[in-house]
Amino acid sequence: LSPTIAVLIVSCPCALSLATPATITAAIGRLMQEGIVVSRTTALESLHRLELLFFDKTGTLTEGKLRLQQHTVIDPARDQQHFQVCSAIEQHSEHPIARVFTAFESSLVATEVQNTPGKGLSAHVDSTRWYLGTPEYIQEQTGQALASSLRDSYRGQTLVVLAHPGGIVALYGLADTLRDEAPALISWLKKRGIRTAMLTGDQQDAAELIADEVGIDQVYAGQLPADKLSVVQQAQQHSSGKKIVGMVGDGVNDAAVLAAADCAIATQGAAALASAGSDILLLTPRMSAIRTAIETADKTNRIIRQNLIWASSYNLLAIPAAAMGYVPPWAAAVGMSLSSLLVILNALRLKKRQA
């Protein structure tokens, strides 16, 4: 009877079944303290195996606090009014660009607003149809092309055009500030063996300027939300099985890509739609949080492996010993509890602050 009871106690897979969930729970708790919310537990596994990480530009690599660098009014009749028109239209947008214009007071009201993510907005203001967005969007909607000499004088800036069906009214050149920790993060990712790329709806020259500053080698500019999606899906397909691809984004225009990525990270202040599709939500503006998340995921993986090896070797050795009568039931009970305790204590190492 005694060896039978001992075997029954020893073979209880308590430690084995605690090994993974206890570790993941500890890791999620640890990340929460750092302002990193893990909304899908599989995120830690994908973070650990990440091979390629895409970054959105505006609001992700940059602060998303755009400033008006310069502007040109082409239609002198609207000289007094163009900022007010823009302000009225941008009241209806969540894009970081909107805040540049809503800072201007406006007594005008925009109706029938149409928002085309990655391109711009169209609205009815003061009994005229208006279009505000990229030069390509303006050409598409009004047939008005921008003179290349004008375009050149805005090189490196995010260019926004205001137009109505009668012609182009004004141009605005916006500039953004790079996030402090972005270059350090990119260089750490490269050292860790994770490739990086920029995925943005902004124009090529503005995108390349930021890419050079942060050290990202690959740039995909002028990407509409659907283009962004296909770039990520293509990157995921790899001859030797599926490639683990991540995306960091903030905007409505990133929502589809975030949903498709294996590990989606939404930055602080991201649009609700972007946050909803994310695996990890940052509550801190610090870019280094992404490094913390990856380091924690690596450590989680290590601890899960240690725990599984420990728990299974304990059972493998203790069951035959108990069956041969070497382990009295009381010792089996103590051993089983200690083994579970060890697994939990090992998992709790994740709670310690990394140096």
Residues 38-67 interacting with Mg ion (rule: CB under 5 A): 56, 58-59
Edge-to-edge strands, sheet with 195-199:
36-38, 280-282, 263-266, 245-249, 52-55, 195-199, 218-220
CA distance 247 to 259: 9
179 binds ligand ADP (CB under 6 A): no
Residue 95's binding partner out of Mg ion, ligand ADP, none, with CB under 5 to 8 Å set by partner kind: ligand ADP
Residue closer to ligand ADP by CB (options 33, 148) is 148
Residues 204-243 interacting with ligand ADP (rule: CB under 6 A): none
CB 137 within 8 A of CB 202: no
3-state secondary structure of 345: helix
Q: Which of 23, 93, 144, 157 binds ligand ADP (CB under 6 A)?
A: 93
Structure tokens at 104: 């201007």
Q: Which of 141, 200, 275, 278 binds ligand ADP (CB under 6 A)?
A: 200
Q: How far is the CB of 189 from ligand ADP (least distance, A)?
A: 19
Question: Which residue's beta carbon is nearest to the bound ligand ADP?
Answer: 201
Report CA Rg, the chain: 27
Q: Which of 117, 173, 251, 277 binds Mg ion (CB under 5 A)?
A: 251
Strands 167-175 and 158-164: antiparallel
* Count of residues in the chain: 355
Region near Mg ion per CB under 5 A, out of 10-18, 42-50, 246-254, 344-352: 246-254
Residues 293-352 interacting with ligand ADP (rule: CB under 6 A): none
* Residue 56 annotated as catalytic: yes
Active-site hit among 56, 250, 254, 279: 56
Q: Which of 55, 84, 87, 118 binds ligand ADP (CB under 6 A)?
A: 118
* Helix (H), strand (E), coil (C) string for 23-87: HHHHHHHHHHHCCEEECCCHHHHHHHCCCEEEECHHHHHECCCCEEEEEEECCHHHCCCHHHHHH
Residue 92 neighbours by CB under 8 Å, 6+ apart: 110, 113, 115, 121, 123
Closest CA to 93 of 117, 109, 70: 117
Residue 246's binding partner out of Mg ion, ligand ADP, none, with CB under 5 to 8 Å set by partner kind: none
Residues 40-59 interacting with ligand ADP (rule: CB under 6 A): 56-59
Q: Which of 28, 120, 255, 303 binds ligand ADP (CB under 6 A)?
A: 120
Residues at the contact surface with ligand ADP, assessed by CB under 6 A: 56-59, 90, 93, 95, 97-98, 118-121, 132-134, 158, 160, 200-202, 251, 253
Question: Rule CB under 5 A: which residues touch Mg ion?
Answer: 56, 58-59, 250-251
